[in-house]
Amino acid sequence: MSEQSIDILRLHSQRRALPQWHSGMTLLIAWRNLVHDRVRLLVTLIGIAFSTILMGLELGMLLNFMHTTSTIVDHAGADLWVTAHGVRSVDLATPLEERRRFQTLSIDGVAAAESHLLQFAFWKKPDGVRETVILIGVDPHAQMGLPWAMLPGRSIHDALSIPDGVIIDRLYAQKLGIDHVDQLVEINDHRARITGFTDGIRTFTQSPYVFTSLRNARLFAGKADKDITYVLVRLAPGQSPDVVGASLAARMPDADVLTPTRFSNKSRSYWLFTTGAGTTLISSSILALMVGVVIVAQTLYASTMDRLPEYATIRAMGGPRSYLYKIVIKQAVIGGLSGYSVGITIVVLLAYLARNSSSSPQVPWWLAGGIAGITVLMCIVASLVSLSKVMSIDPVKVFR
């Protein structure tokens, strides 16, 4: 008889005052099953932790990708967007006539309508190398579509009011060859001046966003004075976006009128499902889940099978099936949560260390909680698969 089997018999002999199969003992037996073999416990925790890390990083990267594809829409503060017909993503802007802004203002329920210009351009670094950037032109007095998360220094209004001023994010300062405010650069062979920095405005295309005034954006991009790409709409208090949106669509049938949620989802769907980048991330995330399932299942199954003599001991003592179920499931939950705790700590640490990179994984509380649920569920399922073997144990095996 194994040492672990003897321990189980001793546990029951020491608790004769309790009912023969008191459920409170299952937790203690499950714990002793895990810690009895320290090497097996270490292998189990490493397997579950690795699975958690794999899922956490891949899903965190996918979440970051989704957010950056629609970050301009999500932070614009508009109630409706008027776009050219058929625009698939906010970064794939199509020219729009500025008269759309005045048509928008003529609709009841519209409190404000502002012009917005988005255009790709070439940024010339001090060493002569050119980088692709995304120009975003807004009026310095605008209420919507402005840069957010400004670092201390000039106000947004002051930074945009300077004739050749542009605002970039500090994450891309080195990429663009910038090291201080008021540094001079070139955009499409026009002089520009760094007038401010933002903090954490990422772009999934790796072409940094460059905020500037509408006038500067037209000059840098070589556009006419009336060229825009979007009209950002703010509704009067109490107005319904659906009702006003329907009126705008009737007034401008050759343009699209979208709510921020719809435009955001449209941008995310385009990059996630119709481009190689999104397909790769989705495939990697699914693969991470599948690999995680396999790792956890094999680890927990092997751990349970190694305890067959101990379970046979309980069967030999007359233990009911429900008693074994409780032990195996509690053992799986304890192991799953322990390995998850190690893994998610590493994921959060890596996300924190990468917080200043352009593509850091995002690990909100609901994602961490979801991974915990998936991990525990996988552990329970893996343990239940092994129960068929446990239930077929010959109790006589203990005494051989």
Dump pLDDT digits (tens) for 249-258.
Answer: 999 999 999 9
pLDDT band at 49 (very low <50, low <70, confident <90, very high): confident
> Does the pLDDT at position 331 exceed 50?
yes
Whole-number average pLDDT of the chain: 84
> Does the pLDDT at position 1 exceed 60?
no
Sequence ranges of the domains in the chain:
3-67+277-399, 80-258
- The predicted structure's pLDDT at residue 206: 81
pLDDT band at 214 (very low <50, low <70, confident <90, very high): very high
- The predicted structure's pLDDT at residue 20: 52
CB of 233 closer than 8 Å to CB of 113 = yes
What integer is the mean pLDDT of 194-214? 91
Summarize pLDDT for 55-107 with one digit per residue, the tens.
Answer: 888 888 888 888 888 999 999 999 999 999 999 999 988 899 889 999 999 99
What integer is the mean pLDDT of 334-354? 90
> Does the pLDDT at position 179 exceed 50?
yes
- The predicted structure's pLDDT at residue 182: 92
pTM: 0.78
- The predicted structure's pLDDT at residue 3: 58
- The predicted structure's pLDDT at residue 2: 54
- The predicted structure's pLDDT at residue 360: 82
Least confident among 99-108, 109-118, 236-245, 358-367: 358-367
pLDDT band at 6 (very low <50, low <70, confident <90, very high): low
- The predicted structure's pLDDT at residue 22: 55
- The predicted structure's pLDDT at residue 255: 93
What integer is the mean pLDDT of 127-149? 93
Summarize pLDDT for 96-122 with one digit per residue, the tens.
Answer: 988 999 999 999 999 999 999 999 999
Higher pLDDT, 99 or 278: 99
